[in-house]
């Protein structure tokens, strides 16, 4: 019996060559619409699906392959006599190979001006159905959805050794492909309907790279990215130079980008172990980086730096004088890149933090489940602040308070940030009590804490942190407020002449 192959693809890459190889192997070709035209234009004989179903394509092609002549040919078990008898009685024949890829739903919804109607018309029905039928019967049907697999399949057919394991791997790829496709559709329509906590969620990501190892050498790891392109994210960044990124590099670089995204004026952010160790802002990038470096010249060693302006020669020379794992910026002028690239291992990445997507969900895996929450995109302006002490902060103190607040949001709780003169001076991260975090941040700032400001990611449950700040010379504090004992901290500030403002917004980070 002549073997038959059904080809219906939106991606025409390699199609004509694949079709010709199948003809040379004795296959009869069946096809639909544009796929059929492409094959015919290559001078290859092909039958229309309507010849097989004896039913015309209808509704502008919405219904063409949803027919028993197609699906019985795909699902019939060759070693099941009853299946093959029924197939013969109905006048249908088996289909031995299926090559299908689906309507470009992902590409359609990625367009800025896409309409709901366009999205609906790009929801493929017949394609996934054929793929699933063929994949279910993978022992008897070769199923392919990726043009990259054409050559291997052809070679296997020529040798006559398409093994069970290989066919099963093709089936697995198909089920991943259709699941990915369905997840995109579900996510799109769930978004349109505005459901905040649907009964199930199915997220889908695309593989970027396999990593050498995970957080530690005994852990395996891979990097995946969201389907929706975020040009300001590391997942869609362009690496211009240096070694491959590691798991920890990616974590730290992402943290640096999120801090840098807070600032509109020239800013430099240094990160170590996912916490900012130095942040500086200025009128130009070179000065901003100098401030970030001076904030903590010890911790920046071996760290990650994110910049939100084009890197020029002056900034590049500053950066090249330090051992850094990663440098990220929107652009590098030719001379600057040449200076930085002299170090063969440093990763130089082109990415603009200012367009980093800050909206959406944050997913955290827990044992046996998943936590889903909105990303912390809360921001405050001067007009949002409520002065609660007798003394109000000066204009300069307000500037430093806002800077410290922008940074403390990204520090692991309990978190305290000391700032002054447009830069951080000390960071206390991840402590089990707030006064302990303050002691670390103030200790790092040293004498520079005198006249500086302090930010706390959450309220003060008692006045001990204020007392510690006063001893170090802190002049203004920004914190959420909301403790039952807020008045104790306010009284302590008034006693020491410290200005304090409440934001009404907490920034825990676990």
136 in catalytic set: yes
CA 297 to chain centre: 31
Q: Which two tokens stand for residue 432?
A: 């089990």
CB 349 within 8 A of CB 324: no
Distance of CA 35 to the CA centre of its chain: 34
Strand partners, 99: 7, 144
- Give the span between the Cα atoms of 340 and 342, in whole angstroms: 5
- Which residue among the candidates 136, 173, 228, 350 is catalytic per the annotation? 136
117 burial (CB, 10 Å; 0-12 / 13-18 / 19+) is exposed
- Indicate if 207 belongs to the active site: no
Q: What share of the chain is helix, strand, coil (3-state, %, to 5)?
A: 40, 20, 40
Cα–Cα nearest to 1, from 99, 92, 75:
92
Residue 232 and residue 257 in contact, taking contact as beta carbons nearer than 8 Å = yes
CA distance 29 to 4: 6
**What distance in Å separates the CA atoms of residue 292 and residue 266, rounded to the nearest whole number?**
12
- DSSP per-residue string spanning 273-325: TTEEEEEEE-SSHHHHHHHHHHH-TTTTTTEEEEESS-B-HHHHHHHHTS-EE
- Write down the catalytic residue from 12, 273, 379, 509: 273
For residue 93, give the 3-state DSSP assignment: coil
Which tokens sit at 510?
Answer: 């676990």
Query: Which residues are catalytically annotated?
Result: 136, 273
């Amino acid at each position: 019996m002549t073997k038959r192959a059904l080809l219906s693809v939106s991606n025409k890459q390699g199609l004509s060559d694949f079709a010709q190889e199948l003809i040379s192997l004795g296959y009869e070709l069946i096809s639909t619409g544009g796929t059929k035209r492409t094959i015919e234009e290559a001078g290859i004989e092909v039958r229309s699906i309507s010849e097989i179903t004896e039913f015309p394509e209808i509704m502008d092609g919405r219904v063409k392959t949803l027919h028993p002549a197609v699906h019985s040919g795909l699902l019939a078990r060759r070693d099941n006599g009853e299946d093959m008898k029924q197939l013969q009685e109905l006048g249908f024949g088996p289909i031995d190979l299926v090559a299908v890829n689906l309507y470009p739903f992902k590409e359609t919804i990625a367009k800025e001006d896409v309409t709901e109607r366009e999205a609906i018309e790009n929801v493929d029905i017949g394609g996934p159905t054929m793929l699933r039928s063929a994949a279910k019967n993978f022992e008897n049907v070769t199923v392919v959805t990726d043009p990259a697999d054409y050559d291997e399949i052809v070679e296997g057919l020529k040798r006559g050794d398409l093994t069970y394991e290989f066919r099963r791997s093709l089936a697995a790829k198909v089920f991943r492909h259709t699941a990915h496709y369905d997840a995109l559709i579900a996510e799109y329509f769930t978004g349109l309907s505005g459901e905040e906590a649907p009964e199930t969620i199915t997220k889908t990501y695309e593989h970027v790279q396999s990593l050498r190892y995970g957080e530690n050498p005994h852990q395996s790891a891979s990097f995946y990215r969201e389907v929706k392109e975020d040009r300001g994210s590391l997942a869609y960044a362009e690496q211009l130079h240096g070694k491959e990124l590691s798991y920890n590099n990616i974590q730290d670089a992402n943290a640096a980008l999120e801090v840098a995204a807070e600032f509109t004026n020239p800013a430099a952010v240094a990160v170590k172990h996912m916490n900012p160790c130095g942040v500086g802002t200025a009128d130009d990038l070179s000065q901003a980086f100098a401030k970030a470096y001076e904030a903590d010249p010890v911790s920046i060693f071996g760290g990650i730096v994110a910049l939100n302006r084009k890197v020029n020669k002056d900034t590049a020379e500053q950066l090249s004088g330090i051992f850094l794992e990663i440098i990220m910026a929107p652009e590098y002028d030719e001379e600057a890149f040449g200076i930085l690239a002299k170090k063969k291992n440093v990763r130089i990445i082109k990415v603009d933090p200012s367009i980093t997507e800050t909206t959406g969900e944050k997913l955290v895996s827990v044992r046996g489940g998943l936590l889903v929450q909105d990303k912390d995109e809360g921001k405050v302006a001067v007009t949002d602040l409520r002065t609660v002490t007798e003394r109000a902060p000066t204009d300069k103190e307000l500037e430093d308070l806002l800077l410290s607040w922008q940074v403390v949001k990204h520090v692991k709780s309990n978190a305290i940030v000391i700032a002054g003169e447009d830069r951080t001076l000390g960071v206390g991260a991840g402590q089990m009590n707030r006064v302990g975090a303050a002691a670390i941040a103030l200790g790092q700032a040293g004498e520079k804490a005198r006249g500086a400001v302090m930010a706390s990611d959450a309220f003060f449950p008692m006045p001990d942190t204020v007392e510690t700040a006063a001893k170090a010379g802190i002049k203004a504090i920004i914190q959420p407020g909301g403790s039952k004992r807020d008045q104790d901290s306010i009284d302590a500030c008034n006693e020491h002449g410290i200005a304090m403002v409440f934001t009404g917004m907490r920034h825990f980070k676990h």
